[in-house]
Amino acid sequence: MSFIKEIKNEIISSPIENDCCAIAFIAGILYSSATIFEKENEFEVSFICDNKEVYNFVDNLVKKHYGTSLIINKDDSPLLNKQESYIVTFPNLISKRVLLDCFLISPIDFKIRKRDDFEEFLKEECCERNFVKATFLMLATSSIRLSERAYEKSTSGYHMEFTSHDYDFLNSLSKVLASKGILAKLVERKKQFVLYLKEAQLICDLLTFVQAYNSVLALQNEIVAREMRNAVNRQTNCLSANISKTVSANMKQLEAIDIIDSTIGIDSLSQELQDVVLLRLANTEESLSELAKLNPNLTKSGLNHRFRKLISIANELKD
């Protein structure tokens, strides 16, 4: 199961008890996703859902608060992602009442209102939270994939977004999230508008706000695992670089010793240079630091100075 589906299933695992929160949740569904048609003061209200569990959750809310079930039909229109989806319709018997409760039509002339003003559902934090929960269920997608094992690298970044054709709605939603310290960016992409988050901590804050606490914990564990893998990789790369550097330096030193030995002979060198030649020949793979430990009279700096002198002599002999 994808991480985003796990989040959504967690959101709908908690029942909504308060009437005001139930209306706010239904409003979140309608404001974010509903198609509303009006003909002679009659309204057809529907939305598309690709998650049967979400449909069941909303249906139970509607039955509890309006006394009737939603109508669900399979959506046969071709989808690019080939994901099965359903058209969910509110019965005509309750559609006008639902729209009035959600402030989506005017109580005076029953005209359909714009969806960028949902202040009525922001007055109480519990209602505000449920409005955003419903919006999350309908619009949120994410590329985040959790690693199945701590040592396995995930190729996904931290990205979560709300996608809609309604710029004004997403703009208003971004202000709600910003009031909670969740700063999302709004852009246009392929004739749609996208409100997105790319920082892991902001995504954790959003999941905390919609009360997906298990998902927050899972994401935080993923963050820690990735940071640990990155730290190990940095250390491994650093160690590999140091080993490569040591091997290269040792080969240059041994090559210089071989040139000197085959031309003027090691005996022609000063005693201090002969000492480091013998030390190197006896320890061909050790770094300067390790060589310095083998001879307390020599420091790493002193060894480096003498080897540079040997290499200089060898270069002169080659010329």
Digit-coded pLDDT (tens) for 77-94: 655 455 778 999 999 999
Positions of the chain with pLDDT lower than 70, given as ranges: 77-82, 148-156, 319
For residue 186, the model assigns a pLDDT of: 96
Q: What is the pLDDT of residue 80?
A: 45
Q: Give CA–CA dist 25/102, Å, rounded.
A: 10
Q: How far is CA 294 from CA 21, 196, 288, 311, in A?
A: 75, 59, 10, 22
Q: Are residues 271 and 183 in the same domain?
A: no
Q: Are residues 42 and 191 in the same domain?
A: yes
Report the pLDDT value the prediction gives residue 230, as an integer from 0 to 100.
Answer: 77
What's the pLDDT score for residue 172?
A: 95
- Domains in the chain, number: 2
- Residues with Cβ within 8 Å of 179's Cβ and at least 6 positions away in sequence, in order, are none
Q: Domain limits at 310?
A: 247-318
**Judgement on whether residues 266 and 182 belong to the same structural domain of the protein:** no
CATH, residue 27:
3.10.28.10
In this predicted structure, what is the pLDDT of residue 275? 86
Kindly state whether residues 185 and 290 are assigned to the same domain: no
Would you state the pLDDT for residue 116?
84
Residues near 91 by beta carbon (within 8 Å), at least 6 away in sequence: 68, 69, 70, 71
- 194 lies in a domain? yes
pLDDT in tens, 186-217: 999 988 999 999 999 999 999 999 999 999 99
The residue out of 167, 185, 211 marking a domain boundary is 211
- Environment class of residue 252 by beta-carbon count within 10 Å: exposed (0-12), middle (13-18) or buried (19+)? middle
The rounded distance, in Å, linking the Cα atoms of 18 and 64 is 11
Q: Are residues 206 and 252 in the same domain?
A: no
Domain termination site, one of 162, 189, 211: 211
Assess if residue 88 is contained within a domain: yes
pTM for the predicted model, two decimal places? 0.74
